[in-house]
Structure 1
Amino acid sequence: MTLPAAFLAEVHRLIPAERRFDDPMATLAYGTDASFYRLLPKLVIRVEYESEVIALLQAAQAERVPVTFRAAGTSLSGQAISDSVLLVLGDHWSGRDIRNGGAQIRLQPGVIGAQANAWLKPYGRKLGPDPASINACKIGGIVANNASGMCCGTAQNTYHTLAGLRLVLADGTCVDTEDAASVAAFRHSHAGLLAELARLGESTRADPALAERIRHKYRLKNTTGLSLNALVDFTDPLDILSHLLVGSEGTLGFVSAVTYNTVADLPHKATALIVFPSVETCCMAVTALRTQPVTAVELLDRRSLRSVQHKPGMPAFVQTLSPGACALLIECASEQAAGLESAISQVMAALAPFPVEARIDFTTDAVENARLWAIRKGTFPAVGAVRETGTTVIIEDVTFPVERLAEGVNQLIALLEKHRYDEAILFGHALEGNLHFVFTQGFNSAEEITRYDALMKDVAQLVAVDFGGSLKAEHGTGRNMAPFVELEWGTQAYQLMWAVKRLLDPQGILNPDVILSEDPAIHLKNLKPLPAADELVDKCIECGFCEPVCPSKGLTLSPRQRIVMWRDIQARKRSGQNTATLERQFRYQGIDTCAATGLCAERCPVGINTGDLVKKLRGQQASRPQAARWAGDHFATLLASARLSLRAASGAQRLLGAPRLGRYAKGLRSLSGNTLPRWTPALPQARPAITFTAPNDDARPRVVYLPACVSRVMGPAIGDAEQTPLIEKTQALLEKAGYQVVFPEALDSLCCGQPFTSKGYTEQGEAKRQELLRALLRASRGGLDPIYCDTSPCTLRLVDNLADTRLDLYDPVRFIYSHLMDKLDFTPQQAPIAVHVTCSTQHLGQSQALLAIARRCSDKVVVPEGIHCCGFAGDKGFTQPDLNAHALRSLKGAVQHCSEGISTSRTCEIGLSDHSGINYHSLVYLVDRVTSPKIEHSENSLHAPKQGELAAISG
């Protein structure tokens, strides 16, 4: 079935071509969310404005075209996919308005949940909903799924903290419940609809049995079906409407803004891990804790503890727990330290009657707290990481009445064993009776699908009927539980949901077959294949947690989408299909525009670095190993050539001027088929080669200074007010702090190997790395002296899997933070500073140290929101400038009031300067500017040498 011509014509009129996708690669990439379902949309549209959504819905209604909304696509139940039209949120949905000292916040649907909490943190407030996916999921999805989480419970979800809503109905009508004029107009234009909602509410409240059933269902954590509690909790039909939209999963309308009543973010927290000898004892303890001052109580069964017991940092006793052990991870929090102590005392008194097998007492230490929560957070990925290739990992969430939790847990375990899900684990939010069970599932045979179906039917009977619980506590109904909504709710309530659906979406165009479906087997259709692609990425569960930090997301593919595409290409190859066209597309979309910096691994639950796959594919396509080997053997010659090229570019800029040279360079690049590197006014001038002189031996402590090859070649840009090269600036700072600076010999021949490995020449890159490590060992007198490398990417490359523990390697952040802060006096400047935390700084774990140094140097530090990787990626900023431009598309507006930017990577600073309108420099420049030597060091300080007169030490 194709989309109607009239609808497509309207789409082409409304949406520019660069935001419409219907090619096989794009539709497959966007046909994936975090669930185990897949539908391929016929058309994907990236919407940027509410007016576009309104017009598109009007066109869809006129032609009866089904439409599905997508925020982050982290949904687990198949509610963010479509085989028709998929509307994906673009960049322009990130507005916010903080009100009343943070008591309320109005957000657009494209805001990531964690970003909203970052905005609220200075006010001591946060959002009520706290889903596990909060670092990736967006407000639109949080509202649409009525997401909750570990601390949220039922009282602080979106439904109960909703202060206002701006929504668009299926007919394209928009109403803002906080705008009196909008409300008045809507009450006039949709009087009939509101009257029918009022009638449905009155009839529901007038039926005591139905009303009480609804109230009972929502005393539990429950996202199964539509939010019928709106019909009993409110009498104003507009209040009913706005609360019906919460948890409706895009089946009743589009939420274009939401206002939350925020909750307190209590600053004093403590965590304990208590292990009980049995599930029964553990659940009895949960009942006792319900009346205690706890903010979170997480249950972990023995299998879940076993899944993480061998991970680093796990308590040793976890390996020796009894087979029936069951643990509670308990958090207390308070506004004051004294209040926290009181809460802990009350909790421990409540638990005193229960036998305990093992325990870690309450701790306020942030590191220890993080370690304890890592046990809970590591269980789901632990199952995903050990599953067989080709299977998926499924996480279901159900709610039992808490007073019957032990019975529910044991019967659920028995069901999993009955259906041979022996690897399944249980954990969950115990205070709410909310359990997650995680298991692996293959869908490659009819037998496996039948086994899954049998499990789901048994689970539905157990939870919904035998225990009167809910089949979906917080993950949304989606397609997954749509066939079981009537079983859980009963026919009367189920038909009431259909009445609401038909009232608000009479044509049935909004996300059909989600929540409500007339197909009893919808949960078994369109199951997503996870074919083997490469062992580096086969464990990917396609959750999308990686996407917010990817610089190419929205330009080409995200890490999740790269894996989806590569899986599909490999499956097609195995079936004998011709994949040449797809592979050509993937070359640009998947390989060329991947920064390969590995930030995705930092967010991935199973630790997948999609950049490793890309580097491997580049290696398979690398066709000039001899040239790479020659370059490694003649690296000094290579650097000399680079200096010559930079001199030529600088000469042309002085002769022609930057604007004219920019036009000429752009034309030449176009004529070359984009093989010539992009020229930019931020391009550095050439830095002369270092001339070495013998060092002066004295009593000062020594530091080996390794200038990266880019520092040896690249000086400041012509238009930069700061004209001192980084090497001279760094040596001056180190000597100011009282150090004697020495350099490895034959410096211009040395390289960490990163330029080789990033292009796929792994062998040549590793040879250069080992050569450099040997030179550093000599220069540091066998590891006696610390080694300072002036760029973070090179440092990361050297310390990664470093076998020689004698070498003490530092990037600028770590060295300044650990060795210079106490040797220098800081006089902070008033001018604001923009800080870019490079990918390598994040990998090195130095992000907070960098910000701490910056705050010692400036009274105003700006960290631009949403920029995690600049996309320059070594030389990608020259060869693939669209990646750099896309990654930094919001930078200029974020730093326009800053006087300077700082970073720890010279190449990143080129792109940052080019796209920000301000000059970015190494952190060293800022620290040097605002510091003076302390008295005990000043007498040993030396003047910085003149350019080209740097000292070297022989091995």
Structure 2
Amino acid sequence: MTSPTSPAVTGITTQLGPQLSGSLTTDPDVLAAHATDESLYSPVGTPAALVRATTVDDVVATLRYAHHHEIPVVPQGARSGISGGANAVDGCILLSVASMNRVLEVDEANMTVTVEPGIINKDLKDALRPHGLAYPPDPGSVAMCSIGGNIATNAGGMCCVKYGVTREYVRELTVVLADGTVTRLGHRTVKGVAGLDLAGLFTGSEGTLGIIVEATLKVVPLGPDPLSALATFPSVRSAAEAVSAYMATGASPSLLEMMDAATIAMVNELGDFGLDAAVGAVLIMQSDSVTAAADTEAFASVAETHGAVDVAFADNPVDSELLVAARRSAQPAWEHYARAHGGGQLLDDVCVPRSRIAEFCDRVEGIRDDTGALVTVIGHAGDGNMHPSVFFDTTDDDSVASAQDAFDRIMALGLDLGGTITGEHGVGNLKNRWLATELDDGNRRLHREIKNAVDPTGVLNPGKMLEHL
């Protein structure tokens, strides 16, 4: 890899800059402002330049230059990730595709939409609504995360329990490879098995295999306004048991979320959401089917059978959205708390079988007691994707050590229960040590060989997901 002080790096402005229709800057203040994603505790290097691409040709020129001179490239979009995947490495070119944010085509006949990678998820949803169409993947950061980043991390969100993750909506990708080659992967058709599923391979690859510059996505008909219900429980365990029981009935809610008592308190501190601060946990259920009223009643019945303290219904779209807004506020509330209490937060993203959510929550409480760290829990409970968050004081070595111990124990717990280290946030540099633990020898070898085949000089997002394989 080229030294950060080599002529190729120091000459980026004069050699690469003239080839771009977008902008290039080496201003240290601008670079520092773009060097990180939303991860609060991940390594950050010092970049050499920031390219703001506006066209595919900008991406091609940047990668050709970087490949030839072996300069690392860190792709970025909205930088809303929370695993450090978009963080700078020393001497790198930050390659932002945030300005490539157009809807290129809405194909109502074939139920697809073609977009550039920088478009914000919610902006895409808003653009589809007049056509009577919807794009279901719905991360908690829907108002700020980009579709390119969603594809790069195979993002999920609150509606995965019914609609699945991003990969299930990716039909075709246009990708720029490490050497500047532009290629199309996948098929626009509903079915297509010609060759390997390379679009699926690049989905979730976190910028380590190529840069996504265009995506054709499956869309669905816009459904009726959803209805919601909120159930409160005396403990996290009773809420988790209700989740397993409700999903075992064959229910198909469009959303089933959980928050523990500590998170409820933080959300209430952030805004007036009216959540009961005296309970141990809440479940928020939503249905967007034609049987939504009956679905909420069925959920209430199961919740009450499993010890719910109270069940409230939102029987109109406005109130329903307010309940969901309370859940979407959990991460901002956590960040607000972290900034006021030492600045440290390690957000986990463990996915376990639904039948083991209650055991997972019990054992997280044990980890909290053993380490002395403050650990809060929310989760996309309907699909077993749990998000414990560990808080700590970054200026206190003992606090940092306790938090890291708790975080590592939670990762190990997820694997012990037959789960995975990440359900939707990606690996980045926050969890790359743990990826090597989850994968077996053959799987690690396949990852290495694929990476070496498509990026032989190793310039694409080094030090991140594949670092320890």
Q: What corresponds to 2:81 in structure 1?
A: 75
Q: What corresponds to 1:26 in structure 2?
A: 30
Q: What corresponds to 1:300 in structure 2?
A: 259
Does residue 1:99 correspond to 2:112, yes or no?
Answer: no
Aligned-pair CA distance for 1:247: 0.7
Match of 1:516 among 451, 455, 466: 466
Q: In structure 1, how many angstroms separate the alpha carbons of the residues matched to 2:252 and 2:398?
A: 48
Q: What corresponds to 1:284 in structure 2?
A: 241
**One-letter code aligned to 2:430:** N
| SS of residue paired to 2:252 | coil
Does residue 1:418 correspond to 2:418, yes or no?
Answer: no
Larger radius of gyration: 1
Q: In structure 2, how many angstroms separate the alpha carbons of the residues matched to 1:32 and 1:311?
A: 24
Q: What corresponds to 1:594 in structure 2?
A: none
Does residue 1:252 correspond to 2:260, yes or no?
Answer: no
Aligned-pair CA distance for 1:483: 0.6
8 Å contact from structure 2 (residues 100, 119) kept in 1: no
Does residue 1:10 correspond to 2:15, yes or no?
Answer: yes
Q: In structure 2, how many angstroms separate the alpha carbons of the residues matched to 1:311 and 1:111?
A: 28
Q: What corresponds to 2:358 in structure 1?
A: 406
**One-letter code aligned to 2:278:** T
Call closer, same or farther: CA 1:371–1:504 in 2, change over 3 Å: same
Q: What corresponds to 1:354 in structure 2?
A: 306
Q: In structure 2, how many angstroms separate the alpha carbons of the residues matched to 1:27 and 1:319?
A: 42
Call closer, same or farther: CA 1:263–1:42 in 2, change over 3 Å: same
Q: Identity, % of aligned pairs? A: 25
Q: In structure 2, how many angstroms separate the alpha carbons of the residues matched to 1:32 and 1:450?
A: 23
Aligned-pair CA distance for 1:413: 2.1
8 Å contact from structure 2 (residues 108, 131) kept in 1: no
Does residue 1:58 correspond to 2:8, yes or no?
Answer: no
TM-score (normalised: structure 1): 0.45
**One-letter code aligned to 1:138:** S
Q: In structure 1, how many angstroms separate the alpha carbons of the residues matched to 2:186 and 2:155?
A: 23
Aligned-pair CA distance for 1:419: 1.9
| SS of residue paired to 1:516 | coil
Worse-superposed segment, 398-407 or 58-67: 58-67
Aligned-pair CA distance for 1:22: 1.3
Matches within 5 A, 1:766-785: none
8 Å contact from structure 1 (residues 392, 441) kept in 2: yes
8 Å contact from structure 1 (residues 297, 429) kept in 2: yes
8 Å contact from structure 2 (residues 161, 256) kept in 1: no
Call closer, same or farther: CA 1:511–1:122 in 2, change over 3 Å: same
| SS of residue paired to 1:480 | coil
| SS of residue paired to 1:259 | strand
Match of 1:344 among 296, 301, 304: 296
**One-letter code aligned to 1:303:** A
Matches within 5 A, 1:249-648: 249-290=206-247, 291-309=250-268, 313-315=272-274, 318-321=276-279, 325-334=280-289, 336=290, 339-351=291-303, 353-360=305-312, 362-387=313-338, 388=340, 390-422=342-374, 424-464=375-415, 466-518=416-468
8 Å contact from structure 1 (residues 393, 440) kept in 2: yes
| SS of residue paired to 1:297 | strand
Aligned-pair CA distance for 1:373: 2.3
8 Å contact from structure 2 (residues 38, 79) kept in 1: yes
Aligned-pair CA distance for 1:120: 0.8
| SS of residue paired to 1:96 | strand
**One-letter code aligned to 1:459:** I
Aligned-pair CA distance for 1:315: 3.9
Aligned-pair CA distance for 1:312: 5.8
Match of 2:52 among 40, 46, 50: 46
Q: In structure 2, how many angstroms separate the alpha carbons of the residues matched to 1:286 and 1:266?
A: 24
Q: Which has the higher strand share?
A: 2
Call closer, same or farther: CA 1:391–1:344 in 2, change over 3 Å: closer
Q: How many residues align?
A: 455
The 4+ residue runs of structure 1 with deviation greater than 6 A are none
Aligned-pair CA distance for 1:157: 1.9
Aligned-pair CA distance for 1:485: 0.6
**One-letter code aligned to 1:146:** N
Matches within 5 A, 1:749-788: none
Call closer, same or farther: CA 1:415–1:72 in 2, change over 3 Å: same
Q: In structure 2, how many angstroms separate the alpha carbons of the residues matched to 1:309 and 1:158?
A: 31
**One-letter code aligned to 1:431:** G
8 Å contact from structure 2 (residues 38, 82) kept in 1: yes
Q: In structure 2, how many angstroms separate the alpha carbons of the residues matched to 1:179 and 1:485?
A: 30
Q: In structure 1, how many angstroms separate the alpha carbons of the residues matched to 2:109 and 2:192?
A: 28
**One-letter code aligned to 1:256:** V
8 Å contact from structure 1 (residues 294, 347) kept in 2: no
8 Å contact from structure 1 (residues 276, 358) kept in 2: yes
Structure 2 unaligned segments of length 5 or more: list them.
none
Q: In structure 2, how many angstroms separate the alpha carbons of the residues matched to 1:234 and 1:409?
A: 41
| SS of residue paired to 2:348 | strand
Q: In structure 2, how many angstroms separate the alpha carbons of the residues matched to 1:326 and 1:504?
A: 47
**One-letter code aligned to 2:202:** L
8 Å contact from structure 2 (residues 231, 303) kept in 1: no
Aligned-pair CA distance for 1:131: 0.8
Q: What corresponds to 1:116 in structure 2?
A: 124
8 Å contact from structure 1 (residues 49, 93) kept in 2: no
Q: What corresponds to 1:747 in structure 2?
A: none
Call closer, same or farther: CA 1:105–1:42 in 2, change over 3 Å: same
TM-score (normalised: structure 2): 0.89
Aligned-pair CA distance for 1:171: 1.6
Match of 2:96 among 88, 106, 117: 88
**One-letter code aligned to 2:124:** A
Aligned-pair CA distance for 1:66: 0.9
Aligned-pair CA distance for 1:154: 7.9
Aligned-pair CA distance for 1:278: 3.2
Call closer, same or farther: CA 1:91–1:302 in 2, change over 3 Å: closer
Call closer, same or farther: CA 1:254–1:504 in 2, change over 3 Å: same
8 Å contact from structure 2 (residues 286, 296) kept in 1: no
**One-letter code aligned to 1:300:** M
Q: In structure 2, how many angstroms separate the alpha carbons of the residues matched to 1:484 and 1:126?
A: 35
CA deviation string 1:67-101 (max 9, x = no partner): 11111111111111222111112534424210025
**One-letter code aligned to 2:344:** T
8 Å contact from structure 2 (residues 125, 134) kept in 1: yes
**One-letter code aligned to 1:244:** L
| SS of residue paired to 1:57 | helix
When the two chains are superposed, the root-mean-square deviation of aligned CA atoms in Å is 2.5
Q: In structure 2, how many angstroms separate the alpha carbons of the residues matched to 1:452 and 1:122?
A: 47
Q: In structure 2, how many angstroms separate the alpha carbons of the residues matched to 1:412 and 1:5?
A: 51
| SS of residue paired to 1:320 | coil
Structure 1 unaligned segments of length 5 or more: list them.
181-232, 520-955
Call closer, same or farther: CA 1:449–1:297 in 2, change over 3 Å: same
